[in-house]
A and B are shown apart, each in its own frame.
Chain A
Amino acid sequence: TQLLEQSPQFLSIQEGENLTVYCNSSSVFSSLQWYRQEPGEGPVLLVTVVTGGEVKKLKRLTFQFGDARKDSSLHITAAQTGDTGLYLCAGGSPGTYKYIFGTGTRLKVLA
């Protein structure tokens, strides 16, 4: 069974601070996606990474896929209150149509 562990589970920081969220597995994934979910809504895709070692930037967010395609990280620079939410990683299961979701990181950015 493929599992994706996210850490930390909860994170509360002040506006302007930097943070990193990790998504780790012992399994290889064909791709890795990051989603953000607001209360009462479904997850919304932030980015997809498909190549080992790939780095993508989305404004203040930097996403990296591990060289072995087993892990990923999300780094936020100078966090803002609008970054508050639940961050989920999801790995594409090779040879299937399925995605395996991580356990989630709940981020709260305080003004």
Chain B
Amino acid sequence: NAGVTQTPKFQVLKTGQSMTLQCAQDMNHEYMSWYRQDPGMGLRLIHYSVGAGITDQGEVPNGYNVSRSTTEDFPLRLLSAAPSQTSVYFCASRQRRTSGGAGEQFFGPGTRLTVL
């Protein structure tokens, strides 16, 4: 199993450009999430999905769109990039929560995005 894969690994955009960050998992996990990581702020949830066709907003959704047409893929779209979106983006997946507590989240290697 490849686990959670993300592409690209690095990206530089100009203000106003759009792009899609790709995320795929081969573990048949129902739940997938996108986080951004900024210095001193941990990881903040952007959008998440509890299954194909179902998405919802996290803490910092503005400027980002997601869709979940298949269980495997969960792309993140930046509509009009801004310098404030310079960050490291992580995709994560996990199984549906079982009784007794939370399930393990598996993270991809991240995409480092710079917006000039």
Contact = CB atoms under 8 A, between A and B. Distances in A.
Q: Which of B31, B50, B101, B110 has the most CB of A within 10 A?
A: B101
A101 B44 contact: yes
Interface string A68-111: 00000000000000000000101010000111111110000000
A42 B48 contact: no
A11 interface: no
Given A97-B31, A98-B48, A31 B42 contact: no
Contact of A4 (B4, B35, B42, B92): B42
Contacts of B102: 30-31, 33, 48, 50, 92, 99
Interface residues of A, number: 27
A90 B43 CA distance: 9
Contacts of A49: 101
B101 A45 contact: no
A36 to B, nearest CB: 11
B51 to A, nearest CB: 10
- Range for the number of chain B residues in contact with chain A: 20 to 34
Given A42-B109, A48-B104, A101 B40 contact: no
A52 interface: no
B101 A104 contact: no
Nearest to A43: B107
A58 to B, nearest CB: 14
Interface of A: 1, 4, 6, 9, 30-31, 33, 40-45, 48-50, 88, 90, 92, 97-104
